[in-house]
Structure 1
């Protein structure tokens, strides 16, 4: 009979960090008792301890096996040769502190013990409670909180990955709720780029929501991204489209000219005209830019009467009264119209385009369309940030930055669900670049990232960070992933398809919350990006429960299989699956009575459907005095 109930086997083979353990005879039942607690022996993902003098090595069980049971009676191993494969992950030294990595290796016949709850508390217990935040409970010991180091979680980046239905959005909401506790972190600041508008409900008590079409009754604010805050490259992609080098150079010169005009009318501290570039965040009138280029591209060239064919003069073709047929207006994006001129003679003497024309009529037409389009008003007509013809504005960018990252609310949700899909990649890249540049240049100020770090949450990241994407979003995230740690800017990548994300970006995430992943390619991508050699642990991903995650990386002392604490039922993201059949289930949050396919048919009003479609908003408001009631089985508002 073994004298130590925690002893489970001995070391038989050591190869780098992989250790093979032979179980002792008394471990054949797979169950051990210690201080009134039962411990399952040989559970994949469980921990073992190998004492080496004053040091104890810790490892994770990655594989379990057994040889054939012997046939002879009285054999010393009646249950066969049972073994464990263990991956070493860290050690606890004489000072009692756990550290990642190992300074020495075990040898043959060294004893191997189970890791008790007392050991787990010492390993996962924080050195300084302020640095750690609880995100859930250990799956193997639910009395022990799962603690993550907030310093390493935020600035060294993290990723939350899991298939649809694994509880990913709920997990993210729970994590953000823990990271924004007002009593512990009153100055925390988190920005969420919410692609589908899921988080406003879950984080309503601690977030400011910005939408293109805000709901003022819910204190939502209008999302504005002033075009003049973009870099020149970002602006060209979002306005003109594609320009060749010559065209871009001429447009850049004109932008600088208009910014200089604006600066003379409304001086800005920190910049003078001599240092202006097309990238400098100084307002200018893009309507005036369009109008002047439109005139330039539509200018006609008329041969002088009686002059040689190569002697020409540029002039607008005027009406009979000496004025344009229609003068046009820059701010209303109305182009000028001129009368048609017919000339006789050889083709060389007929009306031609001006010698300095850029041949950008098509691009100007695209820009004019966007300037008129209400969907792009948040960008080109951003209310108080819209420049007048002389470039003056009522509000500067400091007001935008203060709304996003300087208010009392710890979380800002930039709801991009109403953004045209054609510009999503470019817009995300521009937003990230604006935030990063602002904190980068203010890094030594109290408002900067070093004094008050910022976490940026990128929902549905595979939509714009895929391997095939080389746009501004991917470039901005790569820059933040590589440099953000030094300046207090971290990212949280959230995706259901990690295999579609650029490996360069995912590998920069120091901590990974891996939820249920059935796809082998996705699991391989996560395993390859993790800092620990734990292939056996990641093989468990297909069988994780909803809301359960394996946390690996720098923010945890040891890899943890964790049940994430979900938010309250009324504060969960708007991402739950619709119920096909509902019959008054009291555990089904937000439903009353029957619903779905189980309800009897009733009169349906598709005029309301069209109203919401045209309104481009899922938020339905009943008209006063309307006799219609909510359809049975629908969620409560």
Structure 2
């Protein structure tokens, strides 16, 4: 790695001041031009973000140019201005060795009058590596300004050390993620790749559909790779379940304790009826992912809270035979239907002294009437079917299910395609945060306990891609999604679980989560607050590079961190146009002249199809942009 060119065209200046990893350099006075030629190739001197090297013995120290000109003159030299304004400030980032090895960090520092050299294309190729030499490297594009140099990233460190893709709207962020996932899911190189995408807006089915199974609220039955999204409630921990079903419970804790005991008892009874090999009922808790009937629990609690009973004759108020049900026209009792979520109807309290028929409420209520009414409504409406009526995972009143938890995990991370997309666009926004947290917690727990098995993350790591992360990984540290993600980014590396955080507002992401990301794909960021959060999360002193973020082109990223030898400004290789995420800007005005054969769209096309707002409203009511029944009417 140490260059044999110690002088001549490669020398551009000398070290004058060293402060930690910041080095002040004066440019040589004989450099009348800012352009230098090495082996017939021209190099601009003093470009912000460009690299330089400082030979120190048998080691080359590498740094990035962060300031040039008057702003780079050290304070103690501003009065005398030696060398005029021909100064540069360099941030040291790593060192290279004669063996060809490059490492981040500095073991020694330069001193006065050490020569500063241009980093040539040959040096960059040695640092960044070659695809045909190292199997763990993957190509994601090319270095900006040097198309001959591949932009290679270390897949080992990208996945297990976590990463973040950040960029403002329109910077090409979603396309970059699609390009990365296309590379990482290449079945030729990585036949056992395992990637799960949390897709909040349904953008990635188009881009990755040929190599992914897609789970969504309203799947297209005509597409074999689309399936119904099911997240069974009984796979959640007790606290998670309470949040998405009952909501806030009375602060005295009585209701919570009774519900916890009933859930645990229901799971134990279900396990006794449908035994699971190796699972002892004595080990079952309210957090155990054992199927049980939430509908029956709700129905029983509803009777306890709303039920009235005939008190004459000393009847036992706990005996359903004594309950005062209303009756329909056929004199049948309106006892409700637990499995359908239909509540029973009880007669009103009647305790008039002269009336021999006395009707009272059941004693000792839990004071959770609003919560039970809200849960009953959720059991009856289809918006929550993905959770409360999860297809083959929905228990009957005895707790029996058609498919088990192993079937669910196998669908998500053990299917025959490298990518699984959980399309969460149809989930009610009020529970999105909780559902994401529940999914992440289930995956973490599963891979944690299976860490020594062939299906575990140590032998076959899992990459979890979290789109629009700022909407659920904000500074609310108590949210389910934030808690689960913090656990993954802090401890997931040991168990083969990696996270890729994707966001247009990194300043809104919890700082603990962002700081654990070892690699950044920083795209155009115009907001100063967002840029400062990215800079603060980096382990290197790279203000010179991050100051370039506002002027990056669409599809261009600065890749920094552990997955690359040196930070590099990169043009990410985008997928073909017909395989990009469904996140492109709508066309307002076509740049080419209108043509009758063109697909209708934009404001300048005259022959637009006759509007059909009946179908328009149908897609809205079905909560499905492409409903399977396109008949008009």
State TM-score, norm by structure 1: 0.91
Matched, 1:613 2:620: yes
Cα distance in 2 for residues equivalent to 1:346 and 1:248: 40
- Structure 1's 3 and 424: CA in aligned 2 closer, same or farther, altered over 3 A? closer
2:222 to 217, 222, 231: 217
1:5 to 4, 9, 19: 9
2:142 to 113, 137, 142: 137
Tell me the residue number matched to 1:62: 66
- The farther-off stretch of 316-325 and 178-187 is 316-325
In the TM superposition, residue 503 of structure 1 has moved relative to its aligned partner by 0.4
- Structure 1's 144 and 291: CA in aligned 2 closer, same or farther, altered over 3 A? same
Tell me the residue number matched to 1:43: 47
Tell me the residue number matched to 2:194: 189
2:600/2:607 contact within 8 Å kept: no
Matched, 1:232 2:238: yes
Cα distance in 2 for residues equivalent to 1:479 and 1:300: 47
For residues 356-382 of structure 1, what are the alpha-carbon distances to aligned partners after superposition, in whole Å with 9 as ceiling and x for unaligned?
A: 321111111111111111111111111
- Structure 1's 447 and 67: CA in aligned 2 closer, same or farther, altered over 3 A? closer
2:342/2:380 contact within 8 Å kept: no
Cα distance in 2 for residues equivalent to 1:477 and 1:297: 37
- Structure 1's 51 and 205: CA in aligned 2 closer, same or farther, altered over 3 A? same
- Structure 1's 292 and 471: CA in aligned 2 closer, same or farther, altered over 3 A? same
1:515/1:548 contact within 8 Å kept: yes
Cα distance in 2 for residues equivalent to 1:279 and 1:594: 53
Matched, 1:382 2:386: no
State TM-score, norm by structure 2: 0.91
1:584/1:594 contact within 8 Å kept: no
Cα distance in 2 for residues equivalent to 1:424 and 1:252: 24
For residues 584-612 of structure 1, what are the alpha-carbon distances to aligned partners after superposition, in whole Å with 9 as ceiling and x for unaligned?
A: 389xxxx9377411122754222221111
For residues 271-299 of structure 1, what are the alpha-carbon distances to aligned partners after superposition, in whole Å with 9 as ceiling and x for unaligned?
A: 21111100101100111111111111123
2:306/2:346 contact within 8 Å kept: no
In the TM superposition, residue 180 of structure 1 has moved relative to its aligned partner by 0.9
Tell me the residue number matched to 2:539: 531
- The farther-off stretch of 330-339 and 606-615 is 330-339
Tell me the residue number matched to 2:98: 94
1:466/1:502 contact within 8 Å kept: yes
- The farther-off stretch of 500-509 and 320-329 is 320-329
Cα distance in 1 for residues equivalent to 2:187 and 2:413: 16
Matched, 1:599 2:587: no
1:318/1:324 contact within 8 Å kept: no
For residues 162-215 of structure 1, what are the alpha-carbon distances to aligned partners after superposition, in whole Å with 9 as ceiling and x for unaligned?
A: 000000000000111111111111101000000000000001221111111101
- Structure 1's 201 and 184: CA in aligned 2 closer, same or farther, altered over 3 A? same
Aligned ranges 1:402-421 → 2 under 5 Å: 402-421=410-429
2:26/2:83 contact within 8 Å kept: no
Matched, 1:391 2:399: yes
2:310/2:359 contact within 8 Å kept: yes
Q: Secondary structure at the match of 1:596?
A: coil
Matched, 1:207 2:228: no
In the TM superposition, residue 467 of structure 1 has moved relative to its aligned partner by 1.3
Tell me the residue number matched to 1:73: none
For residues 403-428 of structure 1, what are the alpha-carbon distances to aligned partners after superposition, in whole Å with 9 as ceiling and x for unaligned?
A: 11111210000000111111100100
1:550 to 541, 553, 558: 558
Matched, 1:333 2:341: yes
In the TM superposition, residue 622 of structure 1 has moved relative to its aligned partner by 8.8
Q: Secondary structure at the match of 1:327?
A: coil
In the TM superposition, residue 126 of structure 1 has moved relative to its aligned partner by 5.2
2:154 to 126, 149, 155: 149
In the TM superposition, residue 510 of structure 1 has moved relative to its aligned partner by 0.7
Aligned ranges 1:118-517 → 2 under 5 Å: 118-125=122-129, 129-219=134-224, 220-244=226-250, 245-300=253-308, 304=312, 313=317, 315-318=322-325, 325-345=333-353, 351-468=359-476, 470-517=478-525
- The farther-off stretch of 577-586 and 453-462 is 577-586
- The farther-off stretch of 80-89 and 184-193 is 80-89
Tell me the residue number matched to 1:72: none
